[in-house]
Amino acid sequence: MNILVIGSGGREHALCWAIAKSPLCDRLICAPGNGGIADVAECMALDISDHEAVIALCRANAIDFVVVGPEVPLVAGIADDLTAAGFKTFGPSAAAAQLEGSKGFTKDLCAKHNIPTAAYARFSEAEAAKAYARTQSAPLVIKADGLAAGKGVVIAQSLEEACETIDEIFAGAFGNAGAEVVVEAFLVGEEASFFALVDGKTVLPLATAQDHKQVGDGDTGPNTGGMGAYSPAPVMSDALCQRTLDEIISPTVAAMAAAGTPFRGVLFAGLMITDTGPQLIEYNVRFGDPECQVLMVRLKDDLVTLLLAAADGQLDHVSARWIDDVALTVVMAAEGYPGSYEKNTEIGNLAEAGAGDTVEIFHAGTARSPSGACLATGGRVLNVTGIGANVADAQAKAYGAVDKVDWPGGFCRRDIGWRAVAREAS
Ligand code: AMP
Ligand code: GLY
C-alpha cells in the first residue's frame, strides 16, 4: 500500500524508518519530512495546516493510509477531514484529541470517572483563579488550557508567583492556549510515560519510557521539547503498568467511547509515580518526540500492521513484541537552543557515527544542501540512539556515536539516563 506520514521531526523519522521496513508498504511519502527522512521515504513539501492540500496530495499519490505524527493537525481535525474524504487515517478525531488539546477537558474527565490525577480547578478569568490559588498551599502548578508546545506549565513555588503566572497567562503569554487556566496541586514522585494503541474500544499496551525535559545536565535550566529519552522506564514494574491500564487508560477509553467520541490512535500518558501509585499528569494523543525513537528501535513486530489495526478497530487481533534491550536516545541541538540559534551549520561524519546494529541516528531539524551535505535547520537536530543490554550500555553506545558526529554548532546533554543508570548501579 501507499502510505503518507505527516510531520517533519525525529518522531516522524523513526515512524518512517519502521514503516519502510514493512512488507505492507509499497510506497512511502513523508510530508514535509526532513533531511534524514529522505533516506527512507519520498519527502514532499506540504503546508499541513491546509487540510485541502493534504487531501489533494493523498489523491494525487493514491494514498491508502495516512499516519499523523504531531498533535497540532490532530487537534485541528485533520483525521476527521481525511476520513471524510475517504482516506484511512491513524490518529484521533478532533473531539478525541481534546484529551491533549484541553487540559481542563481531561481533568474534568478524570474527576467524573475517578481517574487518579492532581486536585485542580479550572478558570476563564484571573480574579477567580487567584482567589482559588490563595486558598491552596504552594507549590502550585499553573497550566494554560490549550496546546503550548510543552511550554504552558509553570510550577509556582509561592502563592505570589502563582498569582503572577495566572495574570501573565490571562494577559496572553501563551496566546489562545491561555484563554482558560487550570490550577492544580503539585505531585511528588518520579515521572514516566506509558504508551498504548487504542482502536476506540480495545487497548494494546505498547511500552514505557522516560525523558529529560530540561536543557542542562542534572535536569537544570529551561524546559525543552525533550533532550533525550530511554525505554523501558525501570520504575514501571509490571504491577505499575497494570495499575496504569486499569486505573487510568481503560477508564479513559471507556469514557470517550460512552461520550460518543471514541479515541483511536496512540494514547501517551504522562504519569507521576507517587507513594500511592500512578497519577495522570497529562495525556498526549500522538507518539512522544523523542520517546517514539526509543520505542521504534525496540519494536519487533510490523508497525504498519499495528497502526492499521488501531485505525480499523481490530486491535484485539494483534499483539506487539519488544526486544528486551534498552534503547536510549540523546538529542543533539543547535547551540543556543531553546533560545535563539544559528541555522544551516554543517554536520559531518553521520554515516560513520550511525554505522552498526547498536546505533540508529534519527534526524529532526535537518535538510540536505544541493551538494548533499547535511545542514542543521532547527533547534533539536539529531536523535542519536543506542541499543544495549541495560541503560548504562545503551548510554555508552549512544554517546560513542555522538562523539563521532562532526558538528561544531551543536551540543547535547552528557547525562541522559542518569537516574536509571544510578538505579542499575545500586
Ligand atoms: P504537562 O505539559 O502537563 O506534562 O506538564 C509539563 C511538566 O510539568 C510535567 O512533565 C511535570 O514535570 C510538570 N508537572 C505538570 N503537572 C504537575 C503536577 N501536578 N505536579 C508536579 N509536576 C507537574
Ligand atoms: N517528549 C515529550 C513530548 O513529546 O510531548
| Alpha carbon of 296 to ligand 2 centroid (Å) | 15
Across the range 334-358, mean pLDDT stands at: 95
Of the ligands numbered here, which is closest to the C-alpha atom of 283? 1
Q: Where in the chain is the domain with CATH 3.90.600.10?
A: 326-425
| Alpha carbon of 274 to ligand 2 centroid (Å) | 21
Q: Looking at domain 190-317, which of 3.40.50.1010, 3.50.50.60, 3.40.640.10, 3.30.470.20 is its CATH number?
A: 3.30.470.20
**Ligand 2 atom with the shortest distance to the CA of 291:** 1
Q: Give, as one character, the DSSP assignment of residue 315.
A: G
Of the ligands numbered here, which is closest to the C-alpha atom of 110? 1
Question: Tell me: domain 125-179, CATH 1.20.140.150, correct?
Answer: no
Q: Where in the chain is the domain with CATH 3.30.1490.20?
A: 125-179
| Contacts of the segment 159-162: beta carbons below 8 A, 24+ positions apart | 159/133, 159/134, 162/130, 162/133, 162/136, 162/138
**Res 188 pLDDT > 90:** yes
- Is residue 409 within 8 Å of 342, Cβ to Cβ? yes
Does the beta carbon of 150 sit less than 6 angstroms from any atom of ligand 2? yes
| pLDDT band at 405; cut points 50, 70, 90 | very high
**Res 211 pLDDT > 90:** yes
Q: Compute the distance between CA of residue 235 and CA of residue 217 in angstroms, rounded to an integer.
A: 21
Q: Where in the chain is the domain with CATH 3.30.470.20?
A: 190-317
Does the beta carbon of 186 sit less than 6 angstroms from any atom of ligand 1? yes
| Alpha carbon of 281 to ligand 1 centroid (Å) | 6
Q: Residues of 3-25 as b/e, b for ≥16 C-beta within 10 angstroms?
A: bbbbbbbbbbbbbbbbbbebeeb
Does the beta carbon of 140 sit less than 6 angstroms from any atom of ligand 1? no
Q: Which residues have C-beta within 8 Å of that of residue 138, sequence separation ≥ 6?
A: 156, 157, 158, 159, 161, 162, 186
Higher pLDDT among residues 113 and 172, named by residue: 113
Q: Compute the distance between CA of residue 263 and CA of residue 99 in angstroms, rounded to an integer.
A: 9
| Alpha carbon of 19 to ligand 1 centroid (Å) | 32
Sheet containing 88-90: give its strands across: 42-43, 27-32, 2-7, 65-68, 88-90
Grid cell locating 186: 503539585
Number of neighbours of residue 119 by Cβ within 10 angstroms: 11
Q: Which of 38, 90, 98 has its CA nearest to residue 68?
A: 90
Of the ligands numbered here, which is closest to the C-alpha atom of 152? 1
Q: Which of 120, 76, 78 has its CA nearest to residue 98?
A: 76
Q: Is 357 exposed, middle or buried (0-12, 13-18, 19+ CB in 10 A)?
A: exposed
Does the beta carbon of 226 sit less than 6 angstroms from any atom of ligand 2? yes
Pocket probe for ligand 1: among 143, 157, 281, 291, the residue whose CB has the most ligand atoms within 8 Å is 281
Lowest mean pLDDT among 120-129, 323-332, 364-373: 120-129
DSSP 3-state assignment of 152? coil
Give me the CATH topology for the region 2-94.
Rossmann fold (3.40.50)
Strand-pair partners of 197 = 204, 266
**Ligand 1 atom with the shortest distance to the CA of 103:** 3
Q: Compute the distance between CA of residue 69 and CA of residue 4 in angstroms, rounded to an integer.
A: 10
**Res 175 pLDDT > 80:** no
Q: Compute the distance between CA of residue 279 and CA of residue 106 in angstroms, rounded to an integer.
A: 13
Lowest mean pLDDT among 53-62, 133-142, 327-336: 133-142
| pLDDT band at 425; cut points 50, 70, 90 | confident
Of the ligands numbered here, which is closest to the C-alpha atom of 273? 1
Q: What are phi and psi of 179, to 5 degrees?
A: -65, -25
Length of the chain: 426
Q: What is the pLDDT of residue 184?
A: 96
| pLDDT band at 106; cut points 50, 70, 90 | very high
Output the CATH code of domain 326-425: 3.90.600.10
